[in-house]
Amino acid sequence: MTSYDDVPASAARGADEATAYPVGLRLSGRRVVVLGAGQVAQRRLPGLVAAGADVLLIAPAATPSVEAMAAAGEVRWERRTYREGDLDGAWYALISTDDPEANAAASAEAESRRVWCVRSDDAEAATAWTPATGRSEGVTVAVLTGRDPRRSAAVRDAIVDGLRDGTLAAPRHRARAAGVALVGGGPGDPDLITVRGRRLLAEADVVIADRLGPRDLLDELPPHVEVIDAAKIPYGRFMAQEAINNALIEHAKAGKAVVRLKGGDPFVFGRGMEEAEALAGAGIPCTVVPGISSSISVPAAAGIPVTHRGVAHEFTVVSGHVAPGDPRSLVDWEALARLQGTLVLLMAVDKIGPISEALVAHGRSPDTPVAVVQEGTTAGQRRVDATLATVARRAADEGVRPPAVIVIGDVVGVGPDRG
């Protein structure tokens, strides 16, 4: 049997062809010594702190970020250079100073004390290598590719991104608690759903989807996933809100992972709070995943900023599904007409005539620029420009149909091609 002392240091360090043995270090409460407080330490310290390590930092100076960590008490900092004996009692060491002699001396001490040691200046002289790591929902991914750290990082990113967006399937095998995720799917382009939303969608057993959500993502779901159409088509077939609430509760109580996939953001004219309240009343946990609202993303996709320096310092988002003068309306159209900023109308295509008339009647100039963006961010996106005086006629002549976002204000004329 060969003892550790019988293994030459060169053999322990030199066989770069040998595969490193991967292991997860549990450093909570254990002493870790970091020599040097530059960029390498700045990158590595947060992970050591997150692992609960008792970090001793030894360096005469530090980057502002590292200094802030020391000031916050996350690490103990001794403002000096390395001295023999600094690794006494350490479980792990990170050597990253700009002094080659100090690095070599500290590495030799680590070897003699059998402390696993990472060296930023000489990987071949180290007894440990730092993998490229990433985390997603309780999973830690660590990748080592020997002498190619960029490849390690690229592989790490590919795996973590896949886990986050659901393109890399990693099903959970432990029982899940009943619950519902109200996921904002964004304005329509499937690439504009949030990373968390896409991951939850990939883990779902049941998806109750609106017609305005990113429908292309439904094609990517595994065959066992039940998709329920909750489309609310204007003046056509619809699924009552009460029925949607009941479906969410029923499937969640059956132990299913349920995703309510909605267009835009769940709480921007999306009845998300009504569904959250119904779930709370049934004692079912609810997770809300915000989405990119069409009120800002669709104008942006059409080249329109809702605010612009020197043009608009405010923007107001209004539901246009109820016309001015309707007793059900909660909108103060007279006050809106007095505003100088941008007005964004959602669900207003068939009411744009009376809305534009009300705004002009209350003082907004009939020459105010207007843009109607239909099916924004999707392959069917198109933009129709007009003014308050002409927008109703233009929308009718162009056959504009929902979904469309209407932008009113001088920002409509902003842009490199519109100056």
pLDDT at 172: 58
pLDDT at 360: 97
Is 239:290 a contact under the CB 8 Å cutoff?
no
| 172 domain residue, yes or no | no
Which residue bears the tokens 């006629």?
393
Beta bridge partners of 406: 345, 372
Q: DSSP readout, 286-328?
A: EEEE----HHHHHHHHTT--S-BTTTBS-EEEEE-SS-TT-TT
- Looking at the structure, tell me whether residues 186 and 302 fall in a common domain: no
pLDDT at 182: 97
Tell me, rounded to whole angstroms, the distance of Cα 386 from its chain centroid.
Answer: 36
Question: What's the token pair of residue 2?
Answer: 């060969």
pLDDT at 166: 64
Distance CA 319, CA 269 (A): 7
Give catalytic residues, as residue numbers: 210, 232
CATH code, domain with 95: 3.40.50.720
Distance CA 9, CA 170 (A): 41
pLDDT at 151: 82
pLDDT at 1: 35
Does the predicted model carry a pTM greater than 0.85?
A: no
Of 237, 259, 292, the residue that ends a domain is: 292
Per-residue pLDDT of the chain (419 residues; tens, 9 = 90+): 333 343 344 444 444 445 778 888 999 999 999 999 998 999 889 989 989 999 999 999 999 989 999 999 999 999 999 999 999 999 999 999 999 999 999 999 999 999 999 998 988 888 998 888 777 766 788 887 766 777 878 888 888 777 776 667 666 554 555 689 999 999 999 999 998 898 898 889 999 988 777 878 887 788 888 988 886 544 445 568 888 899 999 999 999 999 999 999 999 998 999 999 999 999 999 999 999 999 999 999 999 999 999 999 999 999 999 999 999 999 999 999 999 999 999 999 999 999 999 999 999 999 999 999 999 999 889 999 999 999 999 999 999 999 999 999 999 999 776 75
Within 10 A of 313 (CB to CB), how many other CB atoms are there? Answer: 11
- Looking at the structure, tell me whether residues 124 and 142 fall in a common domain: no
- Looking at the structure, tell me whether residues 9 and 125 fall in a common domain: yes
Domain residues for 350?
295-413
- Looking at the structure, tell me whether residues 272 and 301 fall in a common domain: no
Which residue bears the tokens 């900092």?
77
Residue 33's SS3 state is: strand
CATH code, domain with 199: 3.40.1010.10
Is 151:258 a contact under the CB 8 Å cutoff?
no
pLDDT at 157: 80
Within 10 A of 173 (CB to CB), how many other CB atoms are there? Answer: 5
pLDDT in tens, 263-289: 999 999 989 999 999 999 999 999 999
Question: What's the token pair of residue 173?
Answer: 């095998």
- Looking at the structure, tell me whether residues 333 and 231 fall in a common domain: no
Is 201:222 a contact under the CB 8 Å cutoff?
no
pLDDT at 171: 60
pLDDT in tens, 71-112: 999 999 999 999 999 999 999 999 999 999 999 999 999 999
Q: How many domains does the chain have?
A: 4
- Looking at the structure, tell me whether residues 9 and 105 fall in a common domain: yes
Q: DSSP readout, 140-159?
A: EEEE--TT-HHHHHHHHHHH
- Looking at the structure, tell me whether residues 10 and 122 fall in a common domain: yes
